[in-house]
Structure 1
């Protein structure tokens, strides 16, 4: 048989096998996704949200108020709304300086005159300012074994008492009540909500872990679009809550989304999309090439600097999306390994995105948390404490990359070799470009950095197609961005703009830009916003709250806390800080830092609220921010910036696989997290930054 025909037949068979395998995989994918959709749809259609009974409770000074409750299981959740000091209440502080109401669950006799058995006291502290309105909640365990044990004690202590029969009779017909004992000089009003079927966190923890693992598996195996997969898993999580008897209302689900961080991202996207139309980011890439004189590693360092600097005030995922196309063109004309350079760009975007609260979704989620804000976090304080670590990591990461990949940057894959070959065959320089090349050659040359081979031709070619096209629009965009930066700094001064928040500043800056550009069709501007990212983040917020409702976060916090409590009190904060740093970094590497951030913030606040040791919140917050930012460099799934690099690269014919990113990013992640550990130890123990 002719060798050419044989080779053709083998290739045809391989194509048929690949097409068959792809078809089977597509069927399996559709079946799995349809199963998730069908299960969620049936459950959510057939079960309506449970309407919990609410009532007002007024407790007079030094009196006790009682409310009956019907027990459906051995636990009941009590939620109280009012002028409540949530901090003191959740920290279980014992103080006599505040008005309080002692809440218990009791079994009382038929006449409600005598308490037969009761739980421990829950001290709910009150504000004197009645305008405040906060909610606290607690689950009381009230098993039948408690009163059986109590009755056996009565029988042993009063064996010959004739009143024993009536005591046992009282126990048999006892009523369950909630008692509110006033410790206040003024009347106290509370809105009471009773949930007689709270979630049991035994199986809930397992279900929550399966949800997270399922989300990760669907994403890493590329079953479907990442946004669609996340939405389906979120719908499944809500269906799971429904099956367990705790379906949230639509109002509750909407309240789970952190709208402050969503506003920051929306404002950022509007501003950067207009800046992209000016050609500003393409021009920055040309500037980096001009300064580097065509030397590869100097160019990579400058690109990393520009990406990191821009990521400080602009969302790092958006920065990557705008920088990647010119970076790809630079790599193609300089014969550099494009996939490797794109991975380095993503790594620098993640590091630069760690500095400010508006530079990435994780920091936005952390900084806009209400408890974190009340602890004294503002834009300036956050940025000052994150800046030293970022500068150290930016410089040391470049050294590590250069040391480990000096020659690998020039090893091109087959796709890029073919592109380079076609470019050389089709190269046609116009007369204007030839004039520019001659002009560049006549310019005085720097003795410190001599130009690389082919520098003048490449620079002239790049300048011809990469320049600032709309200078007026660029000025308007920079004005809006400058206004945002100024207000971010001013917002850190309590008396300057007390009503401003990071979200409102970002949105109002976007409004300023829209007014300046006088856009006739606002729909075109809004079409440039990455609405898919917004939808992804909203679904991650909801999924996080479901995982919290199922008890996984509290369980993780208990494990971490059990380790912390084994050390001396003077070292508990430091140990907790390091545990949170590494836990958030490893989780961010393999899940997604935008999903890990709300989980870790909730875990930190729970540890501080319910701890029995001396753990402070701010060190845990710094550790969480560093862990989620630098941990994102571990794998391709670590952050939106990583995903955007892969998407843009694929659009230009360059495939960044999970393995190729892991080989480069994971060692850098470990290296930078070690640097963060050392920095946090020094900052906490020597300089007492926290």
Structure 2
């Protein structure tokens, strides 16, 4: 039976063997026998083997040319907009508005663009958000609008004053905090009527500002050229549609299309005369998350060399006795529990390689099981302030942390809902995928051999053709990859077979064990150090280091202990395409936020909440915040959505006319943003990381398949959360946290 297992497990790809020659080469008189590299290759014509020929149908050729022409058109737009748009240096001005006084500022007509003007201000404002068009009423606010002053023939006396723009309202912080609060950035957009920049010299454009507070207000302001807000939103929506169409239908590599979309969004900002400088773009990239990913990828890459993932896979197979569902259930609930204290991104980086090995052993679908795990990780991470990036953003906000939102009451309010969501997720998965543990996984030839193709191609790409030998080796590796691709097309779908449990376990123990115990001990020391720092990060007063800095310190520690000399091999295990995708996605979402797409969602929520009666406002606010944050997080990434929605939560809670408590809206936003990350592949950071690890092992993690699995589960999560919040905060009014 063992022989049969070896035959079944034999690869379709010939190995590159380093072994002794059959005869001693008569090259020298000494007795030194040199090893040589023997490549076991079938005899083929070199021209045929080295050529990479893709056969396309006429329809595929048409689609290919359409795609190339379309991408060239996009490149042409970027190539024209980026170099030709004028880069204007904004000049800031300080001003003070006194009580019961209207400040008048004369505006140069050259600043007007397309009958619109943008205003950016820094001061003691409540939240960094686009100005509201609704009267702030009894709330402390600053009012701004544009007027046209018409002079007489002498040009000295004003004969008439006309309002030529919409009125903007900027919410102000409490008067007691104005002297020491940090300046907050706000935006205002003025659409003008009855005025053109080519007006007569007898017409003067003025910015008028006043407040309803009984003390002076000092701020710094900038004028910006501005497109009409609707035009910017339409352009931003087109960029977002291009990104999703390309990813959903797999027209372009997702890393490449994210770079194109981010560049397009920056070009749109330039078209709107709101150029971001390089330092601002770098800040958009969220180096904290990228540093965390890089450090953990290095740690996991070195740890994998010890063979610990193979060992864990064998032990999991032994514990589950070869049954798939017990293994999946244990791993899913374990992942959900640990993700509450170790962020879900780190958790998936650690556990994904183990799951892939285990699924290969048990003939289970690795992609489907990984999807289950990342969904459980996102749900479990919602229960604590450190489990998911949106929760970290919410709880570290200065306004929210100052209003008694801490680790204890956060977990007290979110944990019951998370437990209900985990139960709902388990039931829904078992009902939807009943055949997972009954019908053996059918692995196509492509899925079985893709790993080998990936290995050959990466090896060929890593070789620099500096000498004839390296050129020949690079050519041979490319030939090998192409030959396997041709073999894939010839093979059909085949069913994997599993030997009986005892013999399979014996074979696995013999071939999948710890390969380097010394490296394993060093890796455990480094990981223990990192995990200790992670847990300290969740304790108040012990989080001076960010999570990314903790991961980087651990990676440096492990590289020192392991005495790694081949850094290229270590860096080769880092998923650079995933890091680049994250960086480009962060830039894209922040650019769309600058354009105003995300702000529109917040304004819609605020408008609807204001329109209902006082008795229904809390119910409407909770349901709107939950569903808008969940759906938006699924399609726009939950990090920028959380950053924007938290401003809306603060604004609603500080509006004295609405009388809305802060804490229920905080729990609502946290649960909605975390659960919404399960909706699509790019909805959560852990999703993208898991997809990168799977593709590194040769398994395709597509947007469409994740959507089919994750989106129905996300809808179920949000429905459960909606009922939970209704019972707790509308029926029983459990608003204020009992913990200090």
The 5 Å alignment of 1:143-158 reads 143-144=193-194
Q: For residue 175 of structure 1, what is the aligned residue in structure 2?
A: 204
Determine if contact 1:237/1:546 at 8 Å carries over to the other structure.
Answer: yes
Per-residue CA deviations over 1:120-155 (Å, capped at 9, x if unaligned) read: 886766755468444334334553389xxxxxxxxx
Match of 2:382, SS? coil
1:669 to 686, 694, 714: 714
Displacement of 1:28 in angstroms is 3.3
Match of 1:565, SS? helix
Displacement of 1:229 in angstroms is 0.2
Q: For residue 445 of structure 1, what is the aligned residue in structure 2?
A: none
For 2:211 and 2:669, how far apart are their aligned partners in 1? Answer: 40
1:138 correspondence with 2:188: yes
Further displaced range: 185-194 or 535-544: 185-194
For 2:576 and 2:157, how far apart are their aligned partners in 1? Answer: 58
The 5 Å alignment of 1:500-515 reads 501=546, 504=549, 507=552
For 1:291 and 1:95, how far apart are their aligned partners in 2? Answer: 65
Determine if contact 2:146/2:208 at 8 Å carries over to the other structure.
Answer: yes
TM-score (ref. length: structure 1)? 0.74
Displacement of 1:202 in angstroms is 2.0
- Flag the 1:340–1:179 CA change in 2: closer, same or farther, 3 A: closer
2:73 to 22, 26, 35: 35
For 1:655 and 1:506, how far apart are their aligned partners in 2? Answer: 28
Displacement of 1:102 in angstroms is 7.1
1:193 correspondence with 2:222: yes
The 5 Å alignment of 1:221-300 reads 221-300=249-328
Displacement of 1:200 in angstroms is 1.3
Displacement of 1:37 in angstroms is 2.0
Per-residue CA deviations over 1:173-227 (Å, capped at 9, x if unaligned) read: 35333456699999865433222x3231122222222222111001111122211
- Flag the 1:43–1:498 CA change in 2: closer, same or farther, 3 A: same
Q: For residue 609 of structure 2, what is the aligned residue in structure 1?
A: 564
Determine if contact 1:487/1:505 at 8 Å carries over to the other structure.
Answer: no
Match of 2:185, SS? strand
Per-residue CA deviations over 1:254-298 (Å, capped at 9, x if unaligned) read: 343444444444444444444444444444333333332333321
Q: For residue 466 of structure 1, what is the aligned residue in structure 2?
A: 513
2:373 to 330, 345, 350: 345
- Flag the 1:618–1:607 CA change in 2: closer, same or farther, 3 A: same
Determine if contact 1:258/1:365 at 8 Å carries over to the other structure.
Answer: no
For 1:45 and 1:385, how far apart are their aligned partners in 2? Answer: 52
The 5 Å alignment of 1:425-574 reads 454-464=500-510, 465-467=512-514, 469=517, 470-490=519-539, 493=540, 496-497=541-542, 501=546, 504=549, 507=552, 528-574=573-619
- Flag the 1:60–1:351 CA change in 2: closer, same or farther, 3 A: closer
1:70 to 94, 99, 108: 108
Match of 2:117, SS? strand
For 2:608 and 2:645, how far apart are their aligned partners in 1? Answer: 14
Higher helix share: 1
Determine if contact 1:271/1:480 at 8 Å carries over to the other structure.
Answer: no
Per-residue CA deviations over 1:70-127 (Å, capped at 9, x if unaligned) read: 2426543333335x2545997987889x9x9876645556558899456688676675
For 1:647 and 1:122, how far apart are their aligned partners in 2? Answer: 43
1:583 correspondence with 2:616: no
Q: For residue 45 of structure 1, what is the aligned residue in structure 2?
A: 83
1:79 to 103, 115, 120: 120
Match of 1:294, SS? coil
Count of aligned positions: 610
Determine if contact 2:606/2:648 at 8 Å carries over to the other structure.
Answer: no
Match of 1:248, SS? coil
- Flag the 1:186–1:676 CA change in 2: closer, same or farther, 3 A: closer
Per-residue CA deviations over 1:512-568 (Å, capped at 9, x if unaligned) read: 656665656766655544343333233223222332333322332333334333433
For 2:374 and 2:69, how far apart are their aligned partners in 1? Answer: 34
Q: For residue 453 of structure 2, what is the aligned residue in structure 1?
A: none
Instruction: Structure 2: give runs of 5+ residues left out of the alignment.
Output: 1-52, 449-497
- Flag the 1:647–1:198 CA change in 2: closer, same or farther, 3 A: closer
Further displaced range: 224-233 or 501-510: 501-510
For 1:395 and 1:201, how far apart are their aligned partners in 2? Answer: 44
For 1:64 and 1:652, how far apart are their aligned partners in 2? Answer: 66
Further displaced range: 16-25 or 294-303: 16-25
The 5 Å alignment of 1:381-400 reads 382-383=410-411, 385-400=413-428
Determine if contact 1:102/1:124 at 8 Å carries over to the other structure.
Answer: no
- Flag the 1:241–1:512 CA change in 2: closer, same or farther, 3 A: same
Per-residue CA deviations over 1:18-47 (Å, capped at 9, x if unaligned) read: 465555544433333232222112210111
Per-residue CA deviations over 1:296-346 (Å, capped at 9, x if unaligned) read: 321121122333344344454554455344434433443445554343333
Determine if contact 1:264/1:358 at 8 Å carries over to the other structure.
Answer: no
1:206 to 216, 231, 234: 234
For 2:686 and 2:651, how far apart are their aligned partners in 1? Answer: 33
Determine if contact 1:278/1:471 at 8 Å carries over to the other structure.
Answer: yes
For 1:533 and 1:367, how far apart are their aligned partners in 2? Answer: 27
Determine if contact 2:638/2:684 at 8 Å carries over to the other structure.
Answer: no
1:218 correspondence with 2:256: no
For 1:358 and 1:208, how far apart are their aligned partners in 2? Answer: 32
Determine if contact 2:303/2:520 at 8 Å carries over to the other structure.
Answer: no
Determine if contact 1:557/1:607 at 8 Å carries over to the other structure.
Answer: no
